[in-house]
Structure 1
Amino acid sequence: MAHIDLGVDERKLPGINGLMTFRPETAKPLNMLAEQLLRGEHSLTAGERELIAAYVSGLNECQFCCSSHSAFAAAQLEGGMHLVDQVRADVVQAPVTAKMRALLQIAGTVRDDGRKVTTELVDAARAEGATDVEIHDTVLIAAAFCMFNRYVDGLGTLAPTDPEVYANAAQRIISVGYGAA
């Protein structure tokens, strides 16, 4: 149960969903940010960007966000949940492109401390074909998900344990996006 009364049934609106209902005036810009970062026109696929969100959320131990964005990534990546699990377990050995690995390493560094992102990490991503926009957006996704994770966990929201809840949410996000979620 959330630390504050959200005025909703948390079983029907778990995690960030209840928070968004509680404060629609803050939900709108947060959803717009998520929509742009994760689903807007981009050289990285929506699945790859969701993978960055899932990876950072896993490092932050945010069960709701990690489960959500893992499901969202899995539904949009050829390797499905098996690939997401491999990335979360060992990003260095996971079967992703060298560019994606370099971007995930930047994301993990941002999660730890943005000041630890080095020229070497950025140069390594560039050497694997990452553009400045991809590097920028990777850093922003990682930073945004640190905020989202702390928002969800800081208010003690419900995180369902049934993977089907997240799989259903993935289909809704893929279909209508974050603004309508």
Structure 2
Amino acid sequence: MAHIDLGLDETQYPGITGLMRFRPETAAPLNALAEALLHAPHPSLTAGERELIAAYVSGLNECTFCCESHSAFAAEQLDGGMPLVRQVRQDPATAEVSAKLQALLHIAGAVQKTGRAVTPKLVEAARSEGATELEIHDTVLIAAAFCMYNRYVDGLGTQLPEDPTAFEQRARQIKANGYVG
């Protein structure tokens, strides 16, 4: 049971979905931000890579709902599927992703601790692996946004879905329609 009465069946609307129904006026901009960061066309980072950054930060924040959902969303869109997502969540430095994505994940991990942990050395390391200014910007923004989303979900004590396959079902919907579709 969430910390506040959402006025709905939380088993039907677990995690952030119940919160979005409780406050549709805040849900619209939150969904628009998720759409822009994770699903909308990007010149160089795939939707799967961006979802992977969200899943990684959510895991560091120990937000089970967001970590599991965005892990499923990333797995649905990455060739390596869930095994790759698990590798990244365990240790991005040894995961089978590009050196550029590893460097971006290190930046995301620094943001999760505090924005001030993003050092010129981390940024230069990402640049040296080919990361663009836009990719560095978007990595920091995804990580920062997911710190907020994670705290929103956990701060209100939301529930997990009763059926863990719900994440996979939602992943197919997100891949096809995005966050505002």
Whether the TM-score (by the shorter chain) exceeds 0.5 is yes
Q: Residues of 1 paired with 2:162 and 2:5: CA distance?
A: 21
TM-superposed CA distance for 1:90, in Å, is: 1.0
The aligned counterpart of 1:84 is 85
The aligned counterpart of 1:61 is 62
Given the alignment of the two structures, is residue 49 of structure 1 paired with residue 50 of structure 2, yes or no?
yes
Q: Residues of 1 paired with 2:154 and 2:93: CA distance?
A: 28
The aligned counterpart of 2:172 is 171
Map 1:32-181 onto structure 2 (within 5 A): 32-42=32-42, 43-160=44-161, 162-180=163-181
Query: Which of structure 1's runs of 4+ aligned residues deviate more than 6 A?
Result: none
CA contact 2:87–2:95 (8 Å) conserved in 1 = yes
Q: State the TM-score, normalizing by the size of structure 2.
A: 0.97
TM-superposed CA distance for 1:161, in Å, is: 5.8
The aligned counterpart of 1:18 is 18
TM-superposed CA distance for 1:8, in Å, is: 1.3
Q: State the TM-score, normalizing by the size of structure 1.
A: 0.97
Return 171-180 or 114-123, whichever deviates more. Answer: 171-180
**RMSD of Structure 2 on Structure 1 (CA):** 0.8
3-state DSSP class of the match of 2:77?
coil
3-state DSSP class of the match of 1:64?
helix
TM-superposed CA distance for 1:107, in Å, is: 0.1
Amino acid at match of 1:126: R
Identical-residue share of aligned pairs (%) = 69
Amino acid at match of 2:92: V
Q: State how many pairs are aligned.
A: 180
3-state DSSP class of the match of 1:144?
helix
3-state DSSP class of the match of 2:165?
helix
3-state DSSP class of the match of 1:141?
helix
Q: Residues of 1 paired with 2:57 and 2:162: CA distance?
A: 19
Gaps of 5+ in 1: none
Alpha carbons of structure 1 residues 139 and 35: separation in structure 2 relative to 1, 3 Å: same
The aligned counterpart of 2:6 is 6
Deviations 1:75-127 (A, max 9, x none): 00000000000001111111110000000000000001110101110010011
